[in-house]
Amino acid sequence: MAARQDGVGNGRDSVLLVATLTSEPTSAELSSLSTQADVLEVRADLVGDLEPDRLRRDFSGELLYTLRSEPEGDVGDASKSGERHARLAAAAAGFDLVDLEAARDLEPAVLESVPPAQRLISWHGPPTELGELRSRFDSMQTERARYYKLVPAAERPVHGLVPLALLASLGRDDVLAFSTGPSGFWTRLLAPRLGAPVVFGSAGEQPAAPAQPSIGRLRRDYGLPLLGPVEAVFGLVGNPALSSLSPRLHNASYAELGIPSLYLPFEVEAFGDFWLDVVERGSLGVLGFGLAGLSVTAPFKEIALAVAGAGSPLADRLGSANSLVRRGQVWEAESTDGEGVLGPLAEREISVEGREAAVVGSGGAGAAAAQALDSLGARVTLVNRSVARGRRTAHGLGIGFSSLADFDPSVFELLVNATPLGREDGGELPFDIDSIREDAVVVDLAYCADRRTHLVEELAGRGVTVVDGREVLLHQAVRQFQVMTGQELPVGLGRRVLGLEGGPVAGFEEGPAASLDGDPA
């Protein structure tokens, strides 16, 4: 399992992918994984001691045996039997690599059974400081190994910077360091640009660690195993953010246009922490990655405008922004949400002027949709469950308001769902679909990654004209992409990678993503 050496960024233009098994695979699944990953990790604490010869019949890459202990992430009880070291020693006979936990496995009998070329010495633990993490590595490297792996958890964005700083300081190609948890997801994508030789992903959609992406997602959304040059980092800040299709759309477009950039999801609990720790302190710049622009999704669109040094007239009127772009030393705020609604309607040659329109939901995306429709002459009513917030937003936009309790969908020719409701079968719908007029047009801002939402599916089945939220995402991204990069987003490519038409794109294969985006970025 040697890192590929070719010459782009830390001497490599690609990274090895490790697919982690969380359930026993079929022969067909193993064969498919042979085309997706270089290494197959058997999490014996989750799936038991699978026979390596059987795995090798269908998987052509190397095999890694891992028996995670309870303190370091075992979710079962397979490693509590008292036979841990015997199982590790036995695995060395059939596996190419054996994961040895630095805290409990570096004993003479185990080290004698697992030679250095087969050792991956690891540590998994809580958030830590750089000095402590460096001390752990110094202790680990007293024993020879092919790889050393250090994985602290991240509870805040600043925690994810620690393993990356370690990689940058070491400058080695045998150290893996990144953070687990939603707040540390993005570190998995930057680590290989700082020397980490491999990236771990789940073999299927069930993760082996908190917020671990699937191998398919690493390929679809981030173009791995290829490592293009990264001169600027863009990203999405939200909660949730990991389920967004924006990374797939932007990264595929960067690859198509030859833009040396990377788009990452930053899932944060508090926008202020992210802004202080990552943006204002220039933490990514210290590591060699300039942060150049951010998409912003719920629930942070209002504070995004507040922290910006300048806002566009539209963003100021809306009181929120979905885009932050750095111009010199100033962060400028913009809103492109409204274009996400108007673009698909224009494509369908649906006139907005004079129509009775209702926008359900008064968040940043809802307010932007309402303003955009109003600007083209629609008679817009904002609908919201919270009367106080809805009235305040409607008053600021100079449009009508209705509480959700009093809302009658049959009155309206054009409806926009700006809530997260209506995605899943059996879930609550944003409004009574039985009263929707047959000649109405419904725009759903919510979306599913690999299919139409339940709301869109139900309305389409009744003959109602509907706009899928993925179309909304694409159209709002067109100007956002131009503002951020100065280039035009390749719309045809965007439609394909979002699953709106056509087949897969090389390096960004299509396939199901497990989660859903929130308020479109």
Q: Is 398 left (phi over 0), alpha (psi -120 to 50) or beta?
A: left
Residue 142: half-sphere exposure toward Cβ, Cα within 13 Å: 9
Distances (CA, A) of 183 to 19, 265, 270, 426: 22, 9, 11, 30
> Which ranges in 59-202 belong to alpha helices (H)?
84-91, 108-113, 130-140, 157-170, 187-190
With beta carbons less than 8 A apart as the criterion, state whether 75 and 54 touch.
no
Buried b (16+ CB within 10 A) or exposed e, 17-42: bbbbbbeebeeebbebbeebbbbbbb
Nearest to 296 by CA among 330, 261, 327, 331: 331
**Number of neighbours of residue 109 by Cβ within 10 angstroms:** 11
How would you write 207-236 as a 3-class SS string?
Answer: CCCCCCCEHHHHHHHHCCCECCCCCEEEEE
Q: Does an H or E element contain 286, and which?
A: helix 283-286
Q: Is 422 left (phi over 0), alpha (psi -120 to 50) or beta?
A: left
301 in active site: yes
With beta carbons less than 8 A apart as the criterion, state whether 98 and 114 touch.
yes
Order across the sheet with 62-66: list the strands: 175-177, 147-152, 119-125, 97-101, 62-66, 39-43, 16-21, 198-202
Residue 52: half-sphere exposure toward Cβ, Cα within 13 Å: 18
**Number of neighbours of residue 108 by Cβ within 10 angstroms:** 7
With beta carbons less than 8 A apart as the criterion, state whether 419 and 444 touch.
no
Of 12, 248, 301, 423, the active-site residue reads: 301
Q: Does an H or E element contain 346, and which?
A: helix 337-347
SS3 2: coil
SS3 442: strand
By the 10 Å C-beta count (0-12 exposed, 13-18 middle, 19+ buried), 428 is classed as: exposed
Residues involved in catalysis: 301
